[in-house]
């Protein structure tokens, strides 16, 4: 069992906010940016909008696997 006081949602949000901020389309490094996370209860959807070219990346993570 997890002993962390943080929720799975917070851990996932932290994980994704620290990685993969470089746009695969134009290579823009969104230093200081972050993925926006929206949870629906069973899943968390992350979205990152590239400030350079406007490309939107989405990622959905199921909390069932945590
Ligand atoms: Zn871009």
Residue 22 pLDDT grade (very low, low, confident, very high; cuts 50, 70, 90): very high
Q: How many Å lie between the centroid of ligand 1 and the Cα of residue 50?
A: 5
Rounded to the nearest whole angstrom, what is the distance from the C-alpha of residue 58 to the centroid of ligand 1? 13
The alpha carbon of 13 and the centre of ligand 1 are apart by a number of angstroms equal to 21
pLDDT in tens, 23-51: 999 999 998 888 899 988 899 999 999 99
User: Which residues make Cβ contacts (< 8 Å) with residue 16, sequence separation at least 6?
Assistant: 34, 35, 37, 46, 59
Question: Running DSSP on this structure, what letter comes out for residue 47?
Answer: E
Higher per-residue confidence, 42 vs 8: 42
Could you give the CA distance from residue 30 to residue 61 in angstroms, rounded to a whole number?
22
Tell me, what's the pLDDT at 41?
Answer: 87
Contact 36, 48 (CB under 8 A): yes
Spacing, Cα 5 to ligand 1 middle (Å): 36
Per-residue pLDDT of 55-66, as tens digits, reads: 999 999 898 755
């Amino acid at each position: 069992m997890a002993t962390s006081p943080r929720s799975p949602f917070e851990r996932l949000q932290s994980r994704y906010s620290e990685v993969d901020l470089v746009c695969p389309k134009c290579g823009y490094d969104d230093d200081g940016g972050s993925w926006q996370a929206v949870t629906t209860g069973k899943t968390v959807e992350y979205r990152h909008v590239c400030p350079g070219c406007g490309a939107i990346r989405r990622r959905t993570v199921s909390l069932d696997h945590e």
